[in-house]
Amino acid sequence: MEIIKNVLSDVKKRNPNEPEFYQAVEEVLNSITPVLEKNERYRNTGILERLVEPERQIIFRVPWVDDNGKVRVNRGFRIQFNSAIGPYKGGIRFHPSVYSGIVKFLGFEQIFKNSLSGLPIGGGKGGADFDPKGKSDGEIMRFCQSFMNELFRHIGADIDVPAGDIGVGKREIGYLFGQYKKLKNGYEAGVFTGKGLTYGGSLVRKEATGYGLIYFVKKMLEQNGHSLEGKKVIISGAGNVAIYACEKAQQLGAKVIAMCDSKGYIYDEKGINIDTIKTIKEIKRQRISEYTNYNPNAEYYGNQRDIWNVKCDLALPCATQNDIGIEEAEKLIENQVKFIGEGANMPCTNQALELFLKNNILVAPAKAANAGGVSTSALEMSQNSIRLSWSFEEVDEKLKEIMENIFELTSKSAMKYSSKTNYIAGANIAGFIKVAEAMLSQGVI
């Protein structure tokens, strides 16, 4: 459509050298073409033009002192993208790759993911080009405190609620929240999610994205006459998403045979021992290659990207963006993969997704399938508001219900506007319609 071409052209001009952001916008806009054709209001009210422009972009200096007394300087970001359905909600990422394009792409995706959750949260994202790897606890604390010295001005329980992401776990959230509390001279527990259980965190938050991914994939398989039982699974990544996707998949009868970190991957024909992975990654913070010391029959390979050469029924990219490109997609198809579940944010390139759809492979798209994390964050916000804590079973049941509702919404939109099994289009359309209607209701702001 002409309007989509014009908006995409404008996005490129206004956001040069930000391919990740452009990729995310292109995928959404191309998916919602059928909706735009049927609804003139979405074409003639500036909805698309407003949707692709963040409501607010904050970039700031983060100076800190390392253990040798040397002053270091990083750059911090917060993109408050869309607040049509609730306060901005999205994680903070600490990684050397972070720049405005990455944060914008993540924030844009977050708009639709949060919309699909059915919970009153808008889209935002933040981060810094800081690498926590190899840093002492003291260095990380000083960095987090300096980061919060600026960010505290822009967040709040009813304004913008950050959480963790890559490089930001319970330790970092603790330091960030502690500094926020000091600066604000008040205990506003609802301003952060992913907190420790001793100061307002929620059970299941650590497991939520991985568990939610499997709940969604399970529904997708069942709708198409399949079961998780006995399926061979490979998972990229070794963080929370990957670990707990592995745990839940195995609980539901699947067999996870390969996992990786950024250095390489392990293959265990008998099935990955999840307790060993937790020991290596969560307790000892070691490389996944250590797995063979616990399970000598397992195999370790030095190239992480070669994990996609392992033959499987279900592939779960749970590491980072653009993990699967054309070459990896072709190899998976050659090895007769049947299902893809996106656990990370935008882990497949647009070209890879097109290839999967063309080959009738069922894809559980990230903005729907990995919404379990932010959904449980919203449940944490609810618990903070009522000053109560729910049990693990209560939160897990609510998470399961949310993910099943997201699947139903995605599936209905796919059938109405695209095809029964194009869940990518279904997720984009369902998320877009809710946000667009809220924006139209609130006027031009």
Alpha helices in 90-190 (DSSP H): 100-116, 137-151, 170-184
Lateral strand order in the sheet of 71-82: 56-65, 71-82, 122-128, 88-94, 160-163
What would the mean pLDDT of 294-300 be, rounded to a whole number?
A: 96
Please name which of 312, 301, 363, 372 lies closest in space to residue 337, comparing C-alpha atoms: 312
Residue 368 pLDDT greater than 90, yes or no: yes
- Domain ranges within the chain, ordered by starting residue: 2-185, 208-360
Look over the chain and give the mean of its residue pLDDT values, rounded to a whole number: 96
CA atoms of 417 and 436, how far apart (whole Å): 16
Is 54's pLDDT higher than 90?
yes
Report whether 240 belongs to an annotated binding site. yes
Domain spanning 2-185 has what CATH number? 3.40.50.10860
Is 110 one of the annotated binding-site residues? yes
Q: Is 209 annotated as a binding residue?
A: yes
Percent of the chain at pLDDT > 70 equals 100
Residue 204: name the closest of 194, 214, 213, 191 by CA. Answer: 194
Judged by DSSP in three states, 59 sits in strand
User: CB–CB of 326/355 below 8 Å?
Assistant: yes
pLDDT digits (tens, 9 = 90+) for 307-343: 999 999 999 999 989 999 999 999 999 999 999 999 9
Distance separating alpha carbons of residues 335 and 324, to the nearest angstrom: 15
List pLDDT tens digits, range 110-124. Answer: 999 999 999 999 999
Contacts of 85 by beta carbon, 8 Å cutoff, 6+ apart: 114, 115, 120, 121, 122, 434, 435, 438
Question: Which helix or strand (DSSP H or E) is residue 220 part of?
Answer: helix 208-223
User: Is residue 420 among the annotated active site residues?
Assistant: no
- Residue 168: pLDDT band (50, 70, 90) is very high
Smallest CA-to-CA distance from 332 within 318, 348, 315, 317 is with 315
Residues near 63 by beta carbon (within 8 Å), at least 6 away in sequence: 71, 72, 73, 146
Asked if residue 271 has pLDDT above 90, the reply is yes
Directed axis angle between helix 19-31 and helix 350-358, to 10°?
A: 40
pLDDT of residue 86 exceeding 90, the answer is yes
Across 96-100, 134-138, 166-170, 215-219, least confident range:
166-170
* DSSP H or E run through 368: helix 366-369
Strands 362-364 and 339-341, by their bridges, are parallel
Q: CB of 266 within 8 A of CB of 272?
A: yes
Q: Which residues contact 437 (CB under 8 A, 6 or more apart)?
A: none
With a cut of 90, say whether residue 92 has pLDDT above it. yes
For helices 170-184 and 137-151, give the axis angle rounded to 10 degrees. Answer: 50
Alpha-carbon distance of 205 to 390, in angstroms, equals 12
pLDDT at 17 over 90: yes
Q: What percent of the chain has pLDDT over 90?
A: 98
**What is the widest separation between alpha-carbon atoms in the chain?**
63
pLDDT grade for 94, boundaries at 50, 70 and 90: very high
Q: How far apart are the first and last CA of the chain?
A: 25
Enter the tokens of residue 6.
């014009």
Q: Which residues pair with 58 in a beta bridge?
A: 78
Q: Which of 5, 70, 125, 184 is catalytic?
A: 125
Q: Which CATH number fits domain 208-360: 3.40.50.2000, 3.30.56.10, 3.40.190.120, 3.40.50.720?
A: 3.40.50.720
The secondary structure of residue 174, as a DSSP letter, is H
Q: And the tokens for 254?
A: 């699947």
Indicate the pLDDT class of residue 418, thresholds 50, 70 and 90.
confident
Ligand-binding annotation for 338, yes or no, is: no
pLDDT digits (tens, 9 = 90+) for 369-393: 999 999 999 999 999 999 999 999 9
Q: Are 75 and 129 contacting, i.e. CB atoms less than 8 angstroms apart?
A: yes
164 is in an annotated binding site: yes
β 299-301/265-267 pair status:
antiparallel
Specify which residues 315 forms β-bridges with. 234, 340
For 128-148, the pLDDT digits (tens) are 999 999 999 999 999 999 999
Do 2-185 and 208-360 share a fold? Answer: yes
The distance from CA 264 to its chain's CA centroid, rounded to whole angstroms, is 22
- In tens, the pLDDT along 171-224 reads 999 999 999 999 999 999 999 999 999 999 999 999 999 999 999 999 999 999
Question: Are 213 and 370 spatial neighbours (Cβ–Cβ below 8 Å)?
Answer: yes
